[in-house]
């Protein structure tokens, strides 16, 4: 339900090359994980940008890398294998990154070069397609994407002439008071004609305080040469929001999630509290699904029509059937059948498969468990490495003892089985169809079909034991005064 998820904007644009800048160190994240690999709506930050590049269907895509090169290169190869990888050398700056990327373009390419940043994940393909169209309408040497955010502090300003045409970019630190009052900023997205770009890149120097080659200097050089440069405002400043620290990551995640949730609402999903409901981009929801407060639909989870999820539920890479209910539970890589119920307070680990109209109830943990149609594990149980047939009932407090200290062993429970409360099934074990087990039974041997298995010793009551062995206690006093 997000514009970046579209596969293609149009047929291959033979006149377009895209450069993705992904060489930055991202120190403000203060993380051992590269900034561009931090998750956003279930995908790494840079994956959103690469999806946009793919949707534009450019003739060439070049991703510029440096810091954490191998980790990012592996990710780019998965998301956009057609992208050429270019390693930025020791010369710092966005100008140098673009210079090296341009040098890697085929000699026969003579089109437009779009420069985007790997840390601007909300910028979608539709917005960029309009940006490219605006650039080509005027055949400008360069076009700058601009924005009108609420807070312009720290951003370079777009300064326009009296007739409204683009004049220059002034960095915040260099701006006068009048220039700082301008509310239009440079969004850091550029489109150049290749010839003009190549000419001005050759003129860049590192003769500045930071010792870097700045891409923004190319804009100034083009204007000095009398070339036309345009600034085109983006419709929503959030589309060009960059991520440099964890606060910005959180803000961006909230904005993107609001867009995703809104999209599903318009598609027929009831979301009671959008502020506490999180849905990843790859999740799929059918119409008439209801999401209650505190719900997270993560990864590639699919939820079929009529299902009710929540409150306070997390589903990761799960498959939820029609009319199923999952309440106050956590599930990962689980399949929940049509009409089945889960929770509250259930923990479904990978490999859980619950059949139609089945039940996994309160304080139940499952792992590698196949629970057949109509079967129930209602209370306080652990079911691991087990197969349960159809229409069986597992008594409260049951433990499937699957681990012998070395191996995980399987248990097989047949159909129409009734097990008593507080059972322990010591795997490997097999319980036949229609069998019963008594309360408190520890089952160490296979139980034939239709048999009753009990191994609890006869109850023995030692009359007077408390008064004899615990004299003077409240219990002894109560016992002595009892008429029983």
Per-residue model confidence (pLDDT) at position 5: 44
Closest Cα partner for 75 from 32, 107, 39, 113? Answer: 39
Going from N- to C-terminal start, the domains of the chain cover 13-240, 246-453
Choose which CATH entry (3.90.550.10, 3.30.470.10, 1.10.10.10, 3.40.1440.10) describes domain 13-240: 3.90.550.10
Q: Please check whether the two domains, 13-240 and 246-453, share a CATH topology.
A: no
Binding-site residue ranges for acetyl-CoA: 396, 402-403, 421, 439
Segment 171-197, tens digit of pLDDT: 888 889 999 999 999 999 999 999 999
pTM of the predicted protein model: 0.91
Exactly one of 10, 38, 48, 379 is catalytic; name it. 379
CA atoms within a 13 Å half-sphere pointing along the CA-CB vector of 195: 7
460 vs 44: which has the higher pLDDT: 44
Binding-site residue ranges for Mg(2+): 119, 244
Q: Say whether pLDDT at 314 is over 80.
A: yes
Segment 27-38, tens digit of pLDDT: 999 999 999 999
**Reported confidence tier of residue 11, pLDDT bands at 50, 70, 90:** low
Average pLDDT for residues 97-124, to the nearest whole number? 97
**Percent of the chain scored above 70 by pLDDT?**
98
Cα-Cα-Cα-Cα dihedral of 16, 17, 21, 23, to 10°? 180
**Percent of the chain scored above 90 by pLDDT?**
90
Binding-site residue ranges: 21-24, 35, 88, 93-94, 117-119, 156, 171, 186, 244, 349, 367, 382, 393, 396, 402-403, 421, 439
> Does the annotation mark 422 as catalytic?
no
Segment 352-397, tens digit of pLDDT: 999 999 999 999 999 999 999 999 999 999 999 999 999 999 999 9
246-453 is classed CATH 2.160.10.10? yes
Segment 44-55, tens digit of pLDDT: 999 999 999 999
């Amino acid at each position: 339900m997000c514009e970046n998820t579209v596969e293609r904007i149009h047929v291959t644009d033979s006149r377009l090359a895209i450069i993705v800048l992904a060489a930055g160190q991202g120190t403000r994240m203060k993380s051992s994980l590269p900034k561009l690999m931090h998750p956003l709506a279930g995908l790494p930050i840079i994956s959103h940008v690469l999806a946009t590049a793919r949707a534009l269907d450019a003739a060439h895509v070049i991703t510029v890398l440096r810091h954490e090169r191998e980790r990012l290169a592996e990710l780019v190869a998965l998301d956009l294998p057609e992208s050429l990888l270019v390693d930025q050398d020791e010369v710092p700056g966005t100008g140098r990154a673009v210079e090296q990327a341009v040098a890697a373009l085929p000699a026969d390419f003579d089109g437009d070069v779009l420069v985007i940043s790997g840390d601007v994940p909300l910028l979608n393909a539709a917005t960029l397609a309009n940006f490219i169209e605006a650039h080509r309408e005027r055949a400008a040497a360069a076009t700058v994407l601009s924005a009108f955010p609420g807070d312009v502090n720290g951003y370079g300003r777009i300064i326009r002439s009296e007739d409204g045409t683009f004049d220059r970019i002034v960095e915040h630190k260099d701006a006068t008071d009048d220039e700082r009052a301008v509310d239009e900023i440079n969004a850091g997205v550029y489109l150049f004609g290749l010839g003009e770009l190549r000419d001005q890149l050759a003129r860049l120097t590192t003769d500045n305080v930071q010792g870097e080659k700045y891409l923004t200097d190319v804009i100034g050089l083009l204007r000095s040469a009398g070339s036309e440069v345009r600034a085109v405002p983006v419709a929503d400043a959030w589309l060009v929001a960059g991520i440099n620290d964890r606060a910005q990551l959180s803000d961006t995640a909230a904005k993107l999630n609001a867009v995703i949730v809104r999209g599903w609402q318009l598609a027929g999903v009831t979301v009671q509290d959008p502020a506490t409901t999180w849905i990843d981009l790859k999740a799929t929801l059918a119409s008439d699904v209801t999401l209650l407060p505190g719900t997270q639909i993560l990864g590639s989870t699919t939820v079929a029509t009529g299902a009710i999820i929540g409150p306070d539920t997390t589903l990761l890479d799960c498959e939820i059937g029609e009319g199923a209910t999952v309440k106050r539970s956590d599930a990962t890589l689980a399949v929940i059948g049509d009409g089945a119920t889960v929770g509250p307070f259930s923990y479904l680990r990978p490999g859980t498969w619950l059949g139609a109209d089945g039940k996994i109830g309160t304080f139940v943990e499952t792992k590698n468990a196949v629970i057949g149609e109509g079967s129930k594990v209602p209370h306080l149980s652990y079911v691991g490495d087990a197969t349960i047939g159809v229409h069986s009932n597992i008594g409260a407090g049951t433990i499937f003892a699957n681990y012998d200290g070395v191996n995980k062993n399987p248990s097989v429970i047949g159909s129409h089985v009734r097990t008593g409360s507080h059972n322990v099934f010591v795997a490997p074990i097999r319980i036949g169809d229609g069998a019963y087990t008594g309360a408190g039974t520890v089952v160490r041997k296979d139980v034939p079909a239709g048999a009753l298995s009990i191994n609890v010793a006869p109850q023995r009551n030692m009359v007077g034991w408390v008064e004899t062995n615990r004299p003077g206690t409240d219990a002894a006093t109560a016992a002595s005064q009892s008429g029983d």
